[in-house]
Amino acid sequence: MTTDEQPAETIEGRVEQLLRLLDLTPKGELLFTGSRQPGGQGRVFGGQVIAQGLMAAMKDVEPSRHLHSLHCYFMRAGDESQEIDYQVRQDFDGGSFSTRRIIALQSERPILTMTASFHKLEEGFHHQEPMPNVPGPDVLMTEQERIAQETDPQSAALLNRFQAMRPIEVRPIERRSIARPEPQQPFAHCWMRLGAPIGDDLNLHRAILAYASDMMLLGTCALPHGVNWQVPGFMNASLDHAVWFHDDFRVDDWLLYAMDSPWAGRARGFNRGRFYTRDGRLVASVAQEGLIRYRKPA
């Protein structure tokens, strides 16, 4: 994928670009190269590095074992002008579990370290936290309808830019101004789905969900403080990210992403997320800590 490629005009085209992004090139023994995402802002999107790293690890795990958790640390901002190498290390293969360690490298320097665990299907006890009582996706505005009804021109322009870059369709439940944030309770809900159908590879669906899980979670801890990345003097960046996959799902069908932040302090914020299917099954949980700094401009 060349550096001058732009995001496709249709969401179906952007899904094709995402699938190409996740189709890694072998470079050596347990070493793979990932291509670059088109039309970004200079820094590599963290969800891209997570998803590409997972795809690298999956190439070294037998297909009967499915991804059930990942834990990663972001060490440096990725440079979008460079490709990323992924080194996979075989940490463990047991009777039920396999663990792989992945290091993402640019110019031979690590930008992310991740451990991913894979589990052979087993049956066992079951319970779950119920799905929040929120409107379903069919009664919410589409992104195009929301942009058309946005009265603030700056917010409309930002929403249009996001919609034109993402392979994921998003329908937020709470209506909040991007250009003029105000203090809010530290929670958010949205429905999301991949913008076109894909095949039945469970691990691919999980890698794409990991990609999507990093899209909006970080901003949750800033909601009570009335700031976001648009506010001068505000800086945020993901420090670590973890996902646990509880059950099977399709990322090309609607999933509810319920997000909250129980704590922020010492220039860090902690965020949690839960993914539910439309029939109320809890299929994944997310946790993330981020750097949040705010210095009022002089």
The whole-number average pLDDT for the span 82-96 is 97
Q: Do 250 and 174 share a structural domain?
A: yes
Residue 134 lies in a domain: no
Position 291 scores a pLDDT of: 96
pLDDT at 180 over 90: no
91 is in which domain, residue-wise? 1-120
* In the predicted structure, residue 254 carries a pLDDT above the cut 90: yes
**Residue 2, pLDDT score:** 41
Q: Are residues 42 and 186 in the same domain?
A: no
Judged against a pLDDT cut of 50, whether residue 262 lies above it is answered with yes
Instruction: Based on the fold, state whether residues 162 and 261 are members of the same structural domain.
Output: yes
Classify residue 14: in a domain, yes or no: yes
Residues 116 and 144 in one domain: no
The rounded percent of the chain whose pLDDT value lies above 90 is 78
* pLDDT-wise least confident of 32-36, 155-159, 165-169, 286-290: 155-159
Percent of the chain with pLDDT over 70: 96
pLDDT at position 109: 97
230, pLDDT greater than 90: no
For position 251, what pLDDT does the model report? Answer: 99
Question: Strand (E) positions, 180-233?
Answer: 187-194
> How far apart are the C-alpha atoms of 239 and 221, rounded to whole Å?
13
Could you give the CA distance from residue 21 to residue 14 in angstroms, rounded to a whole number?
A: 10
Residues 193 and 237 placed together within one structural domain of the fold: yes
At residue 3 the predicted structure's pLDDT band, cuts being 50, 70 and 90, is very low
Q: Could you give the number of structural domains in the chain?
A: 2
pLDDT of residue 39: 61
Q: Which residues are identified as catalytic?
A: 214, 238, 288
Burial of residue 273, with CB atoms counted within 10 A of its CB: 0-12 exposed, 13-18 middle, 19 or more buried: buried
This prediction has a pTM of 0.94
181 and 238 fall within a common domain: yes
Same domain, 160 and 245: yes
The answer to the question of residue 135 being in a domain is no
Angle of helix 46-58 relative to helix 202-213, nearest 10 degrees, comes to 160
pLDDT at position 76 is: 95
Of the candidates 64, 91, 120, which is a domain's last residue?
Answer: 120
Looking at the structure, do residues 288 and 194 belong to the same domain, yes or no? yes
Do both 26 and 116 map to the same domain?
A: yes
The pLDDT score that the predictor gives to residue 298 is 65
Listed range (1-15, 114-128, 163-177) with the worst mean pLDDT:
1-15
Give yes or no: residues 114 and 146 share one domain. Answer: no
> Sorting pLDDT into bands at 50, 70 and 90, what band is 186?
very high
| 217-246 mean pLDDT | 92
Average confidence (pLDDT) over 153-181: 83
- CATH number of residue 264's parent domain: 3.10.129.10
Q: How far is CA 36 from CA 23, 79, 296, in A?
A: 11, 10, 34
Q: Long-range contacts: 160-168, Cβ < 8 Å, 24+?
A: 164/7, 164/9, 165/7, 165/14, 165/39, 165/40, 166/11, 166/14, 166/195, 166/215, 167/11, 167/14, 167/15, 167/17, 167/18, 167/194, 167/195, 168/192, 168/193, 168/194, 168/195, 168/212, 168/215
User: Does one domain contain both 145 and 287?
Assistant: yes
